[in-house]
Structure formats: C-alpha cells, structure tokens
Amino acid sequence: MIAFGRQSLSTLVIAIMTVAHAPFTFAAETKSRVSDFTLPNGMEVVVIPDNRAPVVTHMVWYRAGAADEPPGVSGIAHFLEHLMFKTTEKIPSGEFPKIVARLGGQDNAFTSQDATAYFQRVSKEHLPRMMEMEAERMVNLRLVEQEVLTERDVILEERRSRVDNSPSSILDEQMDAALYKNHPYGTPVIGWEHEMAKLSRADAQAFYKRFYAPNNAVLVVAGDVTPEQVRDLAEATYGKLTANPEVGGPRVRPQEPAFSVARRLSLTDPRAGQPTLYRYYLAPSYQTAPEDDAEALDLLVKILAEGSTSLLYKALVVEDRIAASAGGGYYGGGLDSGKITLHAVAAPTSDLAAVEKRIDEVIAGVVANGVTEQALARAKASYIADFVYESDNQSTLARRYGWGRAVGRSIADIDALPERIRKVTGDDIKRVAARYLDINASVTGTLVPGPKQAVSGLTAGARPAPSDSRPAARPRT
C-alpha cells in the first residue's frame, strides 16, 4: 500500500505514474515464467519459478467447496478438510502434519465456498515427498468411525468459538443468508450447527469420492524449481492416479432471482461494543461480471470505503465525526457472484440512523457525480502497487494462480489484471456505482449492545440464515 502524505501535486502525479507503469514490466516477467500443463489423467499443474531461495510452496486445489454440498449436509466440505489429516493407507492418523514439521516445513488447509486447498512450504529437496503424500490422501483416505465422531466434535467447537461467541459473525451469517435467497452462498462454509451435528462417515465418504480426484484438482508449485522438474515429479506421483469421469464439467448451481426489496436485520447482543451498521450489496465477481465491471467495482470500493483516504471515512469520521471508523471491501473472487460490503461504527455521541443517512448521501453523491480524477489515479496506483508487492511473496503467488484456476480464470487473465485496472475510466466508476450500489440489491444490518436477556434478539424483514462467501476461507484448526 502506498501512503500519500502532504506533498505537491506534481510530486503526487510523478509517484502515481511511476507505480502505474511498473506492472507492465512485472506482468511481462510473470507471464514468461508462469507455465501450466495438464497430466494425462486431467490434473492441471501450474509452475511459478522463484529461485531466490531453495524453498517451494506446494498447493493442491480441489474445485469443490461449501457451495457444492448436497442439501442437508452443510459443512461437509470443511469437515472433510479436517478428516484429510487423519488416516490413509500409508500414513497413520495425524502423522501428515508431523511429517511436514519434522522436515522443517509448514502446512495447513482451508475451505471456501468454491474451493478447498491444502498446502505445504518446505525446502525444495522435500517436494517429492509432499507430492507423494498429497497423492496418497487424494485417493486413499481411510475414514475411521471413531475419528469421524471425534473430529465432528472439533468442528462443532470451532463453530461455537468462531461464530456463536462473536456477535458480528452471527450477524454476518444472517446477512449473507438474507442476501442470497436461492444460491448456496447463503449457507455458511462451516455449516449450520443442527446439520453439522448429524454429519456422518457416509456423508464424508460420499463427498470425498465425488470430488477428490486428479481431474478435479489444480496443483500449484511456486519456488526453486523448473517446469520440467515439476512435470517429472507430478507424472511420477499424481500421474499414477485414475481420473473420475463424474467430475471436471461446469459447476451448475441455483442462481439468484432479481432483487426487488431492500432487506434489514437487527441483532441486539450484550457482547456487542459500539453500535455498528453493515451494508452488503450483491454484485458480480470477476468470473461473472460484464467486461470491465469487476475492475471498476474494485476501484470504486477502494475509493469509497478502503482506508483513511476513502470517501466514507473522510465524511463520517473526519468531517462529521459521527463514526469511530468506516470501511468496506469488494469480494470479487467467487465463481458465481461477488459482494460489496460497507460498515461503520457509530461514535459515542452519534447513532446509527445518522450514520446510515450519511452513508447513503455519500453513495448518492458518487452515483450522481462520479469520483475525481485524482482519487481514481490514487486508487489505481495503490491497487497496482499492492499487486506488485504481493507478487514478491511466493505463497501469495501460489494462492493467486491457484484460486484463479480453481474458479476458471486463465493465467493470461490473471497476469493482465494491472493493465485492465489502468484502463478504468471515471465514467466506468460512475456507471458501476449506479448499477450495483442499488439499495434494492442490498441487506442492511445493525449490531447494538443490549441487556443479557436480549442475546437472541434478532429481528429481520427477511428469513434468517448465514454464510461466509468470501474467497479467503477458514484455516484448519
């Protein structure tokens, strides 16, 4: 992130232009070194050489997440992620992470709505072992009844800890469920407690057999390797596995009907701090948006809600002093849709009605007048700088290309993002603001402190239910 302090306009313009042009060199370099190929069994392999240190990041992405779960077994994708660290035919229960640790490496996993990923970071000489181990549990997982029951208690406790003990997480779930009336993004990744409590060995086995196969996976290796080395290792390990003909096609899910009524939720909870207002808008993702809309949305939300220079922060916190903080984000990585989020914490001397009124005024101003060229140039420079700086991180690169390929974006499309961001115009920003900041395509939620007897005081103008549809998902615990 670039910080712009007090400086002359000419200095600011020079800084912006310098950073804005930097990605072209980087993009060309990245494009030349990122390669991908497909094994005969259908498994895709992406290689990102990085020879600065003898280290590799090894990731396996499955094109299966919480939104692919059958009705009635919510949480099974995340549950299976936990069970993948139990017993296989060759690896005893719980030994997988211990082996990685003994080799001096790190490992973890996460589940999202659209993908599940497993990764290790190790010295490059241990890459063959990582491939052998991941290939082993891709097809040879042994689900032992007692281990399944024990791990089910673990995920139930995880839900109690991460969701039930957090008023903001409770409201987030409820708002997602109200935002998605028909699409499975309205169901939380971790699952509904009453369905999680019934998850069985048979449920896990069915999901595993249905989705875990080489032709439904993307292997990403970033680090001190060559494409030729990775191909040889992948063919010797993953290449021996048999494809599953039932996977690999388009993922067809229920789609959302048109929004016609704005929705509101209110949660009163004694554990809440200052009154807080949240606003979620349904929006397209990079995968589903019309041409140029996702890039314009990314910049719009950066100008509107990200950081202390954003329009909302300046209006609510700096100028009117009716909020202690304000912000937001655009979640555009989803396979089927995205989401715009805004939030503001009321100042002690203010109330949520005034906060909401001011938010709506700021949005109306952007819809009517757009944004300044200076604000747009600053947002582009910040976005492109983030892209470049993040590209210096091996693990971040593995995630960037792994996630993109898991939801169907091409390597070229990912590499070209800085160039497309740079082409966004002020008219584009104004257009997407008018199209997607539509109150009828939104859910507004309020979180306020209250007496202890009001812990369950959720009221709504729509059905309650939750979800975590963000592309960045829950880590394994």
C-alpha dihedral (174, 409, 367, 324), degrees to nearest 10: 50
End-to-end Cα spacing for the chain: 30
Give the mean model confidence (pLDDT) for residues 436-462. 75
The pTM assigned to this predicted structure is 0.88
Predicted confidence at residue 169, as pLDDT, reads: 97
Lowest model confidence (mean pLDDT) among 155-164, 208-217, 304-313, 465-474? 465-474
Predicted confidence at residue 3, as pLDDT, reads: 35
Cβ-proximal residues to 170 (8 Å cutoff; 6+ apart), any chain: 163, 164, 267, 269, 458, 466
Residues 347, 345: Cα–Cα separation, whole Å: 7
Residues 399, 57: Cα–Cα separation, whole Å: 10
Grade residue 451 by pLDDT with cuts at 50, 70 and 90: confident
The larger pLDDT score, comparing residue 133 to residue 249, is at 133
Instruction: Judge: domain 34-240, CATH 3.30.830.10.
Output: yes
Token pair recorded at residue 12: 């600011």
Predicted confidence at residue 32, as pLDDT, reads: 57
Percentage of the chain modeled with pLDDT above 90: 86
Residues 124 and 105: beta-carbon distance below 8 Å: no
Q: Is the pLDDT of residue 237 over 60?
A: yes
Q: Is the pLDDT of residue 117 over 70?
A: yes
Q: Is the pLDDT of residue 327 over 70?
A: yes
Lowest model confidence (mean pLDDT) among 187-191, 264-268, 458-462? 458-462
Lowest model confidence (mean pLDDT) among 240-254, 269-283, 357-371? 240-254
Q: Is the pLDDT of residue 326 over 60?
A: yes
Residues 119, 398: Cα–Cα separation, whole Å: 9
Token pair recorded at residue 92: 């005893």
Grade residue 258 by pLDDT with cuts at 50, 70 and 90: confident
pLDDT single digits (tens) 4-45: 232 333 332 323 333 333 444 444 444 558 999 999 999 999
Vertex 287: Cα angle to 65 and 248 (nearest 5): 50
| Mean pLDDT for all residues in the chain | 90
273-448 matches 34-240 in CATH topology: yes
Q: Are strands 442-448 and 263-268 parallel, antiparallel or unpaired?
A: parallel
**Domain range summary for the chain, segments of one domain joined by +:** 34-240, 273-448
Predicted confidence at residue 463, as pLDDT, reads: 32
Grade residue 206 by pLDDT with cuts at 50, 70 and 90: very high
Choose the CATH number for 273-448 among 3.30.70.20, 3.30.830.10, 3.30.70.260, 1.10.10.10.
Answer: 3.30.830.10
Give the mean model confidence (pLDDT) for residues 94-102. 97
The catalytic residues are 81
C-alpha distances in angstroms, 119 versus 43, 46, 124, 360? 16, 14, 14, 42
The larger pLDDT score, comparing residue 326 to residue 451, is at 326
Predicted confidence at residue 452, as pLDDT, reads: 66
The owner of tokens 């096609």 is 249
